[in-house]
């Protein structure tokens, strides 16, 4: 902060100045039906009544941004211990027609088996449901762009981090894991190469997943110890 700023602050009475509101919006991703899906809630009130939007909360004075995101996640899904990460902060002047709101977006990756929320088509209450990112309804605010941005972030990080593992449970087969990589990347991968690449991140169990009418696949776990 420059000297100008410091001078300013010396005489700065926090209440005297208008401030923007700060919110946190969540992009909750999961994979269902072999598609990347995102949680949306239907707006009842103006503005954008009837349209869908990302879940969000205002940031309290007594909580950090991460805590606000965690709280929102818990309120909307009941989930904790989910991988989440800050995405981007959106500050256009008229994002929200009511007032100046700066939104700090986060994304989270939720394993399908932890979700108790119904799919859009099956939902009685159409208020909150997962939608495939490729077939989103009309979205309120700048939320379509936020989702697009989140999708892009994931596509990048998949290649040099292990975030894809956040979308499977404790145990998984390699065909399952590969499918997740393919959905996140938006392209197919070669079986043999994929296995070589993740070989040092996984540990085989002695269990097999059978019951299909073909050869069963081995069940693996993520390697936990420091690599």
Partner DNA sequence: TATGCTAATTAGTAAATTGCTACTAAGTAA
Partner DNA sequence: TTACTTAGTAGCAATTTACTAATTAGCATA
Give the residue, chosen from 193, 200, 206, 224, that forms a contact with DNA under the rule CB under 7 A.
Answer: 193
Q: Name the minimum Å distance from CB 222 to a second copy.
A: 23
Q: Which of 212, 225, 226, 227 binds DNA (CB under 7 A)?
A: 212
SS3 content of the chain, % helix, strand, coil (to 5): 35, 30, 35
Taking Cα atoms as reference points, which of 173, 105, 197, 184 lies closest to residue 142?
A: 105
* 57 near a second copy (CB under 8 A): yes
**Which of 10, 19, 25, 16 has the alpha carbon at shortest distance from 147?**
25
| Both structure tokens of 80 | 């904790």
Q: Which C-beta is closer to a second copy: that of 56 or that of 111?
A: 56
Binding to a second copy (CB under 8 A) within 16-55 occurs at 17-23, 25, 41, 43-45, 53-55
Span 158-217, contacts to a second copy by CB under 8 A: 160
Piece in contact with DNA (CB under 7 A), picked from 63-71, 72-80, 82-90, 209-217:
209-217
Q: Which does 110 bind (CB under 5 to 8 A by kind): DNA, a second copy, none?
A: none
Q: What letter would DSSP give residue 126?
A: T
The CA distance from 218 to 206, in Å, is: 7
218 binds DNA (CB under 7 A): yes
Give 65 or 189: the residue with its C-beta nearer to DNA: 189
**Mask for 166-185, x = binds DNA (CB under 7 A):** -------xxx----------
CB of 209: closest distance to a second copy in angstroms?
A: 35
Helices 191-198/174-185 angle, 10° precision:
100
Q: How many CB atoms neighbour CB 180 within 10 A?
A: 22
152 in contact with a second copy (CB under 8 A): no
Closest C-alpha among 68, 29, 34, 67 to residue 163 = 29
In DSSP notation, 125-185 reads: STTEEEEETTS---BSTTHHHHHHHHHHHHHHHHHHS-GGGGGS-SEEEHHHHHHHHHHHH
Which parts of this chain interact with DNA (CB under 7 A)?
Answer: 173-175, 190-193, 195-197, 208, 210-218
Residue ranges that bind a second copy, judged by CB under 8 A: 1-10, 14, 17-23, 25, 41, 43-45, 53-59, 61-66, 68, 75-76, 86, 88-93, 98-100, 102, 104, 127-128, 140, 156, 160
């Amino acid at each position: 902060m420059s000297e100008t700023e410091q001078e300013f602050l010396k005489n700065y009475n926090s209440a005297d100045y208008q401030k923007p509101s700060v919110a946190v919006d969540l992009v909750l991703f999961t994979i269902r039906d072999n598609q990347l899906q995102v949680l949306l809630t239907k707006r009842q009130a103006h503005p954008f009544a009837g349209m869908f939007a990302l879940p969000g909360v205002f940031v309290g004075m007594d909580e950090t941004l991460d805590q606000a995101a965690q709280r929102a996640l818990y309120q909307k899904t009941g989930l904790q211990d989910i991988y989440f990460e800050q995405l981007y902060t959106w500050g256009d002047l008229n994002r929200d027609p009511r007032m100046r709101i700066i939104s700090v977006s986060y994304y989270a990756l939720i394993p399908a088996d932890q979700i108790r929320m119904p799919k859009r088509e099956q939902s009685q209450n159409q208020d909150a449901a997962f939608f495939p990112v490729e077939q989103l309804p009309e979205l309120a605010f700048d939320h379509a762009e936020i989702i697009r941005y989140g999708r892009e972030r994931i596509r990048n990080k998949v290649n040099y981090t292990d975030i894809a593992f956040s979308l499977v449970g404790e145990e998984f087969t390699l065909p399952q894991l590969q499918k997740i990589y393919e959905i996140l990347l938006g392209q197919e991968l070669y079986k043999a190469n994929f296995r070589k690449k993740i070989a040092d991140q996984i540990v085989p169990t002695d269990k097999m997943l059978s019951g299909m009418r073909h050869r069963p696949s081995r069940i693996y776990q993520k390697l936990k110890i420091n690599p």
